[in-house]
Amino acid sequence: MVEDSNFTILVRREENIFNPWHSLMEIFSLSMTLDVLRMTMSPHSHSAFLGPSVKSRVLILDQYAEGPYWDLWTLFAPGGIERMEDAKTTAVENIIIPLAGGSNPFWQGDWEAHACSISPLLRVFSGRILDFYKIPHDPVIDDRPLVLTFIDRREKRRLVDIDSYIKTLQRQFPAIKIQTVDFASISFEEQVRISSETDILAGVHGAGLTHAMFQRPGSALVEIVPKDFNFKGFRNLAKLAGHQYFSAHARQEGGTTSGTKGGWQYDDVDIEEDRFLRLTEIAIKSMYQRGRREEDVV
Across the range 157-162, mean pLDDT stands at 85
Which residues touch 107 (CB under 8 Å, ≥6 apart)?
A: 25, 101, 233
Contact 283, 215 (CB under 8 A): no
Q: Does residue 260 carry a pLDDT above 50?
A: no
Domains identified in the chain, total number: 2
Kindly state whether residues 136 and 276 are assigned to the same domain.
yes
Model pLDDT, residue 254 = 57
Instruction: Kindly state whether residue 114 falls inside one of the protein's structural domains.
Output: no
Same domain? 169 vs 245: yes
Q: Are 12 and 61 in contact (CB under 8 A)?
A: yes
Asked whether residue 296 is domain-assigned, the answer is no
Q: What is the mean pLDDT of the chain?
A: 89
Alpha helices in the chain (DSSP H): 20-39, 120-132, 162-172, 188-196, 233-240, 273-285
Residue 294 lies in a domain: no
- 78 with 225, same domain: the answer is no
Helix, strand, or coil (residue 258): coil
Check whether residue 89 and residue 234 sit in a common domain: no
267 versus 271: which is more confidently predicted? 271
Q: What single-letter amino acid sits at 14?
A: E
DSSP code for 145: P
- Spatial CA neighbour of 252 closest among 225, 278, 220: 225
Domain span at residue 259 reads 120-285
The number of angstroms, rounded, from the C-alpha of 192 to the middle of its chain's C-alpha atoms is 9
Q: Which residues contact 94 (CB under 8 A, 6 or more apart)?
A: 1, 2, 5, 6, 7, 8
Confidence of residue 110 (pLDDT cuts 50, 70, 90): confident
272 in the same domain as 148: yes
Are 235 and 180 contacting, i.e. CB atoms less than 8 angstroms apart?
no
Q: Is residue 298 part of a domain?
A: no
Question: Do both 219 and 194 map to the same domain?
Answer: yes
pLDDT band at 76 (very low <50, low <70, confident <90, very high): confident
Q: What is the structure's pLDDT at 258?
A: 43
Do 133 and 277 lie in one domain? The reply is yes
pLDDT digit string, tens, across residues 1-58: 444 568 899 999 999 999 999 999 999 999 999 999 989 988 888 888 887 777 888 9
Please state the φ and ψ torsions of residue 285, each to the nearest 5 degrees. -70, -20
Torsion sign over Cα 182, 187, 189, 190 = negative
Residue 155 lies in a domain: yes
Q: Please tell me whether residues 163 and 197 are part of one structural domain.
A: yes
Residue among 136, 134, 137, 127 nearest 31 (CA): 127
pLDDT band at 69 (very low <50, low <70, confident <90, very high): very high
Same domain, 125 and 25: no
Q: What is the mean pLDDT of residues 234-242?
A: 96
**269 and 124 in one domain?**
yes
**Does residue 84 lie within any of the structural domains?**
yes
Helix axes of 120-132 and 188-196: crossing angle, nearest 10 degrees: 120
Q: Are 172 and 278 in contact (CB under 8 A)?
A: no
* Radius of gyration, alpha carbons of the chain: 21
- Residue 188 near residue 101, CB atoms below 8 Å: no
Q: What is the enclosing helix (H) or strand (E) of 9?
A: strand 7-11
Element (DSSP H or E) covering residue 149 = strand 147-151
Are both 140 and 179 inside the same structural domain? yes
Transcribe 25-86 into DSSP letters. Answer: HHHHHHHHHHHHHHHSBPTTTSSBSS-TT--EEEEE-S-S---TTGGGGGGG-TT-EEEGGG
Q: Are residues 77 and 130 in the same domain?
A: no
220 located within any domain: yes
Which residue among 83, 107, 131 closes a domain? 107
